[in-house]
Amino acid sequence: MKFKILLMAMAIGGSLLACGEASNERAGANEPDELIGKASPVIENGVMTPEVLYSFGRVGDLSVSPDRSRIVYQVTYVSIPHNRTNSELFMMNSDGSDKKQLTASNFRESQPRWIENGERIAFLSNESGSSQLWTMKPDGSDKKQLSDVEGGMDGFIFSSDETKLLFVMSVKTVQTAPDRYADLPEASGRIVDDLMYKHWDHWVESVPHPFVADLSDGKLVNVRDIMEGEPYESPMVPFGGIEQLAWSPDGKTIAYTCRKKTGKEYAESTNSDIYFYDLESGETRNMTEGMMGYDVNPSFSPDGAKLAWLSMERDGYEADKNRLFVMELATGQKSYVTESFDYNAEAIEWGDDNRTLYMVSPYQGTNRLFSVDAVSREIKEIASGKHDYLSVDLIDGALIAKRQSMSQPAEIYRVDLTSGEVTELSFENKPILDQLTMGEVEERWIATTDGKQMLTWVIYPPHFDASKKYPALLYCQGGPQNTLGQFWSYRWNFQIMAANGYIVVAPNRRGVPGFGQEWLEQISGDYGGQNMRDYLSAIDALAKEPYVDEERLGCTGASYGGFSVFWLAGNHNKRFKAFFAHAGIFNQEAQYLETEEMFFANWDIGGPYWDKSNATAQRSYQNSPHRFVDRWDTPIMISHGEYDYRILASQGMMAFNAAQLRGIPSRLLIFPDENHWILKPQNGILFQREFFRWFDEWLK
């Protein structure tokens, strides 16, 4: 159930225990009169504040023109007073020159794509009330609405000759009470007969389907659902997007990702497949039949002779190694091209030679760029450093990639394939960054209790003075098998923690990708085990430093990180003076029956608590944090969202109630309108203010 966060091009499956940022932020109802655009925050003494953090422009989707000379990209801005966001489109040359803003409204423009050989740009906009397809000239003029589909569309891809459009639209699959009883039009009760009646943050009454339409005189005609009558979803909810669908270069075939299961079978399995839909015959073929884990993100080679995709081997294991596969379509022969590479493949892009693929991969604590030869299987590192690459696109002689770090939000870069030189292009946030003083981010390797070496990120306060003593916060990563790289977050932002005077200690404990499969997989079935000792090894090592005040240590985290906080609260031997947990599991027995994607609990916890013969499951439940409440002795704050159907808000409420009943200083921050994340701007600001109010109260 983990969310492989921030690599937008390859979202695969639901995320139990993630702690990243969402791309599907709900809009506020309060529409502003003024334009929501780039902010000019008041910055005093170079210090990051929540208001400054929410002033950064968030660089999103991008597209390279057919002649590879221009880049169109999306930037999202936040309005704290109006409690909403707005997305605009920009264009620049591929060397970063001649930047232009193409749209300026409070309608959300997104997913820009070049069409008509670079003469126009297609994009989604909610200007007409729902998300529809529009086009415009590259200077932003001559806007035209192309679609008017009921309920709007979620993503689109033109066929190579641009005579057809593939797009995603929701299809109702569940009969509601008013559907069943016409005389009860206001009845709100939901009638449930199977599992997966709720997912992530919504009640499942519809699913996304791929639709295809012909283009005639600038309009969509002959619209048809290529999965008509099927109750399955494609792309896969909640994180799959248009990257899970693809056109063949000849425009005759649509490849799509689907887990053709419903109810209990869906809840217990990760077995998705890549399907080919033949436009002429209407026939569908399963191209990955017999491959039992996630198979996602199909990508045709430029000549149409090969298909690349990402594949996991084992059914039910959503954190299995993400492998890169290539199929020769003429023969059906499949090749596991990253077999010798002990790390995940993520975002992928074909090279012009029809044999080279470029990919993002988490490696040794950062997301790096690699090239892969699909024939020889040779893998070469292209770009690394103290930052994370998020996406990859191809231009002549170079890659265009989004990149972020713990000290800078995502920007667009050019990576030269010959020299390896990396050049920033977008500079969206330079005016704000130039006014801020960031803390140093140190890469430190720490010995674990079993003799391993563990990469731990240490983030120091700005203007750090080694002669002083500072409070420190242990950060517990979510996932649990979720990369702890150089990520930039609008909730778990290490630089704002450092700006508030804290040293942040963020260990890549057992279960984190990027250090090989053995390191990754150790955590499964061992919650409360070695990874907890890894946490303590990290904070103990830093507590020995003369500039860390071991009497002012705090601990925080979300999701599995929240589980970690709850567990450590009963097993920390008085190391910490305050805890803060968001969206964490408190009672694993209750969690097993409350969550939706059962495959995660069955794999990582071991199965149901009533299976007394299952030693792994019984060990997991014996290590549930709620079993150690009798040892709680430290102030704890808990936050949770009531739209969180992955880890129900009852988990946070139980933990808070336990602390209150035990007489432990405690506070609950509950969000009635948030899911596993915190998406609304004012709620995000509230979270930051309460986070620091709590730790400042107990650690300063």
- Residue 140: which of 103, 98, 96, 110 has the closest Cα? 103
Domain count, the chain: 2
Q: Exposed, middle or buried, 383 (CB in 10 Å: 0-12/13-18/19+)? A: buried
Residue 389 maps to which CATH number?
2.120.10.30
For the segment 145-165, the average pLDDT, to the nearest whole number, is: 97
Classify residue 78: in a domain, yes or no: yes
For residues 299 and 444, state if they share a domain.
no
Residue 681 maps to which CATH number?
3.40.50.1820
The one-letter amino acid code at 51 reads E
Classify residue 180: in a domain, yes or no: no
Tell me how long the chain is.
Answer: 700
Classify residue 234: in a domain, yes or no: yes
For residues 422 and 454, state if they share a domain.
no
Percentage of residues in the chain having pLDDT higher than 90: 94
Name every residue whose Cβ is closer than 8 Å to that of residue 154 and which is 6 or more positions away in sequence.
Answer: 131, 167, 168, 169, 170, 208, 241, 242
Distance, CA of 401 to CA of 71 (rounded, Å): 11
For residues 624 and 591, state if they share a domain.
yes
The answer to whether 589 and 509 are in contact (CB under 8 A) is no
Which residues make beta-bridge pairs with 59? 75
The whole-model pTM stands at 0.95
Give the pLDDT band of residue 296 (cuts 50, 70, 90). Answer: very high
Catalytic site residue 676?
yes
pLDDT given for residue 30 in this prediction: 59
Pairing state of beta strands 348-350 and 356-363? antiparallel
Distance, CA of 148 to CA of 166 (rounded, Å): 14
Q: State yes or no: pLDDT of 17 exceeds 70.
A: no
Helices 560-569, 530-543: crossing angle, 10 deg rounding: 70
**Bigger pLDDT: 37 vs 424:** 424
Q: What is the pLDDT of residues 157-197, one digit of tens each?
A: 999 999 999 999 999 999 999 999 999 999 999 999 999 99
pLDDT given for residue 34 in this prediction: 86
For residues 323 and 465, state if they share a domain.
no
Classify residue 10: in a domain, yes or no: no
Distance, CA of 600 to CA of 653 (rounded, Å): 23
pLDDT given for residue 6 in this prediction: 33
Considering the candidates 131, 559, 620, 666, report the single residue annotated as catalytic.
Answer: 559
For the segment 693-697, the average pLDDT, to the nearest whole number, is: 98
Q: What is the pLDDT of residues 324-339, one digit of tens each?
A: 999 999 999 999 999 9
For residues 426 and 543, state if they share a domain.
no
Classify residue 53: in a domain, yes or no: yes
For residues 496 and 414, state if they share a domain.
no
Catalytic site residue 644?
yes
- 365, 398, 432 — which closes off a domain? 432
Give the pLDDT band of residue 25 (cuts 50, 70, 90). Answer: very low
Classify residue 198: in a domain, yes or no: no
pLDDT given for residue 33 in this prediction: 76
Distance, CA of 91 to CA of 135 (rounded, Å): 14
Q: State yes or no: pLDDT of 222 exceeds 80.
A: yes
Q: What is the pLDDT of residues 386-411, one digit of tens each?
A: 999 999 999 999 999 999 999 999 99
H-run or E-run covering 536? helix 530-543
pLDDT given for residue 7 in this prediction: 36
What is the domain extent for residue 90? 35-153+227-432
Q: What is the pLDDT of residues 462-504, one digit of tens each?
A: 999 999 999 999 999 999 999 999 999 999 999 999 999 999 9
Q: What is the pLDDT of residues 89-111, one digit of tens each?
A: 999 999 999 999 999 999 999 99
The answer to whether 560 and 480 are in contact (CB under 8 A) is yes
For residues 385 and 244, state if they share a domain.
yes
Q: State yes or no: pLDDT of 669 exceeds 80.
A: yes
Give the pLDDT band of residue 32 (cuts 50, 70, 90). Answer: confident
Q: What is the pLDDT of residues 641-650, one digit of tens each?
A: 999 999 999 9
* Cα of 95 vs its chain's centroid, Å: 28
For residues 304 and 354, state if they share a domain.
yes
For residues 427 and 448, state if they share a domain.
no
- 432, 452, 484 — which closes off a domain? 432
Distance, CA of 620 to CA of 271 (rounded, Å): 25
For residues 422 and 490, state if they share a domain.
no
- 417, 432, 447 — which closes off a domain? 432
Considering the candidates 295, 393, 644, 666, report the single residue annotated as catalytic.
Answer: 644
Q: What is the pLDDT of residues 437-469, one digit of tens each?
A: 999 999 999 999 999 999 999 999 999 999 999
184-to-19, 178, 189, 205, 250 alpha-carbon distances in Å: 41, 5, 10, 18, 50
Classify residue 200: in a domain, yes or no: no
Catalytic site residue 384?
no
For residues 390 and 453, state if they share a domain.
no
Q: State yes or no: pLDDT of 3 exceeds 80.
A: no
Percentage of residues in the chain having pLDDT higher than 70: 96
> Mean pLDDT over all residues of the chain?
95
Give the pLDDT band of residue 13 (cuts 50, 70, 90). Answer: very low
Q: State yes or no: pLDDT of 379 exceeds 80.
A: yes
Classify residue 167: in a domain, yes or no: no
Q: What is the DSSP letter of 602?
A: I
Q: Exposed, middle or buried, 670 (CB in 10 Å: 0-12/13-18/19+)? A: middle
For residues 403 and 450, state if they share a domain.
no
